Amino acid sequence: MRVAGVDIGSLTAKAVMLEDGEIIGKSLVMTGHNSRLAGRRALDLALKEAGFPEDAIQNIVATGYGRLSIDFPAEQVTEITCHARGAHKIVPDAHTVIDLGGQDSKAIALDDSGRVVDFVMNDKCAAGTGRFLEVMAHALEIGIENLGEASLQSEEPAPISSVCTVFAESEVISRIAEGVSKVDIAAGIHQAIASRIYAMAARIPLKERFVMTGGVAKNIGVVKALESKFKTSFVVPPEPQHVGALGAAIIAAERASVKS
């Protein structure tokens, strides 16, 4: 059985191809201003890696904010469900998923079978998202890929009181003008993110094990700050950005089996 999952997020679009439950192709592209085109490119690249044509796919599930804009036949499933299923596949005993994407953040509670029992989502504010970190990295003149490592060098994190992107950027610039070390500011930014995410996640049942998904999971500074705030360790999949697409592909396979 060959199926595909496509996750079209605000910053990146991902696709995962499964054949009899095994990953045989995947892709990641920037979404840009055209989510429809990004979804198509992600699917085509994953198909190319898998080595078979689109008409060989038995089912496709699309997820993410751009899932309604696709130009290929697919079922639509929410990213909450897809991230839950993907995380459960990678970490079978996962019960809490923290997903930090490009422009939103989510906390998802799972049962023993990986089904969603509760969730909370913040898509009104960029705090804790990839976009927030991009703005902070620019203000600090530190490459976004180096921001997390830089924060781990801090011995005295500088408090950042605001989690609003605009106000936090101004606060960071003020701290720099005061002569505060950039690594201390970076650490303070990550602590502020962790506090905001914890306050959001506390509204659902929190239970071991914890899994972190989304592009922000690649930032070791955020991971460490969250582990300190939640007082537990987080499992970060090798490719955290693909977890939603993996979950979509798993659901595609299940639904295809029912139809056949």
Q: What is the mean pLDDT of residues 11-30?
A: 96
Residue 115 and residue 113: Cα distance in Å, rounded? 6
Q: What residue ranges do the domains of the chain occupy?
A: 1-91+241-260, 94-236
**pTM of the prediction?**
0.93
Q: Encode pLDDT of 122-178 as tens digits.
A: 877 777 788 889 999 999 999 999 999 999 999 999 988 877 778 888 999 999 999
Greatest alpha-carbon span in the chain: 66
Contact 87, 97 (CB under 8 A): yes
The model's pLDDT over 168-206, given as tens digits with 9 standing for 90+, comes to 889 999 999 999 999 999 999 999 999 999 999 999 999
Reading the block at residue 256, the tokens are 């295809």
Question: What is the CATH code for 1-91+241-260?
Answer: 3.30.420.40
Residues with Cβ < 8 Å from 70, sequence gap 6 or more?
Answer: 6, 8, 36, 39, 40, 62
pLDDT tens for each residue of 88-104: 999 999 999 999 988 88
Domain 94-236 falls under CATH 3.40.50.2300: no
**Same CATH fold, 94-236 and 1-91+241-260?**
yes
